[in-house]
Chain A
Amino acid sequence: MTDPDHDIEQALASLRPRAPGPAVTARLAAELDSSSPRRGVIIAWSAGLSALAAALVAAFVFLGGVAEPEAPTYRLVQVEQTRPDVQFFRPVQMEDGSFARPMRVRWQDTTRWEDARSNTRLINYRPNDQLTLLPLETN
């Protein structure tokens, strides 16, 4: 079956809307430059902190092993962070009347150490679950 409106739709699509003026583009560029991106750093921070904590634990364990030759000497072999699972929920109204959209981010950190001599493993598995509110602008 053919669509009788198809030719009109195609003709409409071939019209060329006027582009935004250079003033708009310039003002927009200035706005984008002046606003520093602050979001998207939570996970990067947590990943950095996790790695730092793992390194400190590994260093502690390693140094402890030097002082106590009988104790296992664990070596850090793996630090893994899963891809975050992001869920968005329906917007909610805050006490001050503004609206926000709850966002849930879940991921797992796994840090693994091994002692080759005793063939023992130390695994730290930590599930993370963060609920964040994204402010919404309403009119």
Chain B
Amino acid sequence: MHDAHSGQDWRAWFAEHGARLRLIARQWARSEADADDVLQEAFVRFWKHQRHLPGNPNALVVTSIRRSALDLLRRSDRRAVREKIVGDDMETVTWFEPEADPRLAALADSLKLLPAEQREVVVLKVWGELTFDEIGEQLSISPNTAASRWRYAMEALRKHITARTHD
């Protein structure tokens, strides 16, 4: 079989893109540890089965991350029933490196406050580097819906950071 990326150094590729891919995993995961597991599983799955495919590998890796995240959520749901796990550290752990600029810090905090359906569109567009068409495919929604969620998210973020920076 023809390997479209036979010369690709995948470790170097992961080193370059790992941070933004981890953020994508993080916004679909319940904890930092889960995000790490999702990212590892997704990248290995991509590397084993899809790295030979032609085209930009980014969208394939993002798809793999989403699958792994959904897998883990389903497994966690079953485990939660047994163990009554209520842990969700969404509110306590930062997703980004600390920012000196208060406006950026407010923006980083505000992202987590968005409704999940808006937040995933924002993360997929900015850090997933996907178009609205590709986001629509990922989330099984129309590109117009993806664009609409993006606009609502931008509006909400603008309000959040305006309110925060005026506090």
A interface residue numbers (CB < 8 A to B):
4-5, 8-9, 11-21, 23-25, 27-29, 31-32, 35, 39-43, 84, 86, 88, 103, 105, 132, 134-137, 139
A-B contact count (CB 8 A): 115
Pairwise interchain contact B1-A24, C-beta atoms closer than 8 A:
no
Measured CA separation A35–B14 after assembly (Å): 17
Q: Which residues of A contact B53 (CB under 8 A)?
A: 88
Measured CA separation A21–B1 after assembly (Å): 34
Q: Look across to chain B and name the residue whose beta carbon is closest to the beta carbon of A84.
A: B2
Q: A8-B157, A15-B96, A18-B96 are in contact. Are A39 and B52 (CB under 8 A)?
A: yes
Pairwise interchain contact A28-B14, C-beta atoms closer than 8 A:
yes
Pairwise interchain contact A32-B11, C-beta atoms closer than 8 A:
yes
Q: Which residues of B contact A137 (CB under 8 A)?
A: 45, 49, 67
Q: Which residues of B contact A15 (CB under 8 A)?
A: 96-97, 99, 104, 107-108
Pairwise interchain contact A17-B154, C-beta atoms closer than 8 A:
no
Pairwise interchain contact B122-A12, C-beta atoms closer than 8 A:
yes
Residue B126, interface by CB 8 Å? yes
Residue from A13, A15, A42, A135 having most chain B Cβ neighbours under 10 A:
A15
Pairwise interchain contact A40-B49, C-beta atoms closer than 8 A:
no
Residue B39, interface by CB 8 Å? yes
CB of A27, distance to nearest CB on chain B (Å): 6
